[in-house]
Amino acid sequence: MSMEDLLTRTFAEVAEAADHPNTAMATVVARSRAARAHRLRRIAYVAAAAVVVVGGLSAAVALRGGDDTTPTPAGSLGDLPQGAPPKIDYLDGDMFVTTTGERFTSHRFVTAAGAVAWRNGVLVASRPSARHPFSTISFVTKGSSSNVGCGTQSFAVSADIDPVYWLASGCKANRGGRFVQGTTSTDTAKGAILSPVGRVAGGIVAAATSTGLRLPSHALVIPPGNSRWVPLPLLIPRGASAAADLVTGIKGRNLDSVVVDARTGDVRWRAPLWTLSRFSASGRYIVGDQDVGEQTVETVGDVIGIFDAATGRPVLDKPLPGLTFDSLPVWEGDDAVLVVAHDDDGEQAIVRIGLDGSVSRATDVGDGSSGGFKPSSTP
């Protein structure tokens, strides 16, 4: 079977079971954001340290049985205690800062959608736009940068393995493409646009859209060599774990966050009020967030949630009064997550939330100009 036939068959299999058989990726993302904002705006005037009210139902936010009593200052990032530097690489305006303190400077970082350290430099993907739907993938070393090609903006990252990214055959129209890992590449089917998300035991998890086939956006597990693409019942995959062999993503007409088995596609559990994303290093935990939007009430802010990956049991539900998240949270091992946030004064910093409920700053406070802070692509 040719790669084109394989792609058509895989997309058709998903179309038969999809809740949105004719919905494009951009539409799904827009609907997801709108539905999520509508749901979570309801809690805007409720004291976040007490009760979250959604759809007429109340749930105590301290889901660890009330043992999260660490006070969180409201309003200003400057009120948070200063903690250790981030244990992940991150972008700070036009600089890429590594965990060893090494710094790369490039104007390409200011407009980066994703970046990851590789060998003696940094792979960086620009933000796409309506005029330029593909990202520009570049390789930045100290003192120079070079274009690698056009592709999607995400990198699939695993410990001690070269990052995987997708390059299109051309920058203006999709005539097929290839997965690139280090110095090797593997062709992918013509008509498929693939955004790698992470790894599971069976291969690379990717978000897939098609050109010309008018079939749904969905998630795939792509084995080594592209032998047999395995469809997952997700509209948009968000995170993957090889250790747990699980994938997080958005599914269904209500655009709920779910966790699915990477081998069978079975839904393990749901988190309807959360945006689930990345797994901890061991695969034991999943982090999620709730976005309540810009507020005028100091006691209300966006919320971090941590869940047991296997069961969905809540481990931590932590509101950050006065703060709005500018990035999806990322993990520091298994003990803490980092998120870029800004306060009512427009100041920005990377904030650390520990499994014990502690909250501190991992960076100095900045004004968010010149690109601001961004976490690097992480497993």
pLDDT at 20: 44
48-106 tens-digit pLDDT: 222 222 222 223 233 333 345 444 555 589 899 999 999 999 999 999 999 988 999 99
For CA atoms 279, 281, 283, 286, the dihedral sign is negative
Which one-letter DSSP state was computed for residue 352?
Answer: E
Q: CATH number of 3-375: 3.40.50.2300, 1.25.40.10, 3.30.70.20, 2.120.10.30?
A: 2.120.10.30
pTM: 0.80
* Residue 370's pLDDT band (cuts 50, 70, 90): low
* Best CA proximity match to 361, nearest among 105, 72, 114: 72
- Residue 213, burial from CB neighbour count under 10 angstroms (0-12, 13-18, 19+): middle
* Best CA proximity match to 37, nearest among 251, 281, 302: 302
Please state, as a whole number, how many other Cβ atoms lie within 10 Å of the Cβ of residue 245: 16
- Helices in 215-347 by DSSP H: which ranges? none
- Which single residue is written with the structure tokens 């693939």? 194
Containing 15, the helix (H) or strand (E) segment is helix 3-17
154-196 tens-digit pLDDT: 999 987 789 999 999 988 777 789 999 988 998 887 888 999 9
Q: Are 134 and 94 in contact (CB under 8 A)?
A: no
* Best CA proximity match to 19, nearest among 7, 9, 31: 31
Ramachandran angles phi, psi of 89, nearest 5°: -70, 155
Q: Are 373 and 366 in contact (CB under 8 A)?
A: yes
Residue boundaries of the structural domains of the chain: 3-375
Half-sphere exposure of 290 (CA within 13 A, CB side): 29
**CA pair distance 268, 246, nearest whole angstrom:** 9
269-328 tens-digit pLDDT: 999 989 999 999 999 999 999 987 665 556 678 999 999 999 999 999 999 999 999 999
**C-alpha distance from residue 357 to each of 24, 85, 315 (Å):** 39, 18, 10
* Best CA proximity match to 251, nearest among 263, 230, 241, 266: 266
* Best CA proximity match to 271, nearest among 222, 305, 299: 305
Which residues have a Cβ under 8 Å from the Cβ of 332 and sit 6 or more positions away?
86, 87, 88, 338, 352
Q: Are 73 and 319 in contact (CB under 8 A)?
A: no
Q: Largest Cα–Cα distance of the chain, in whole Å?
A: 61
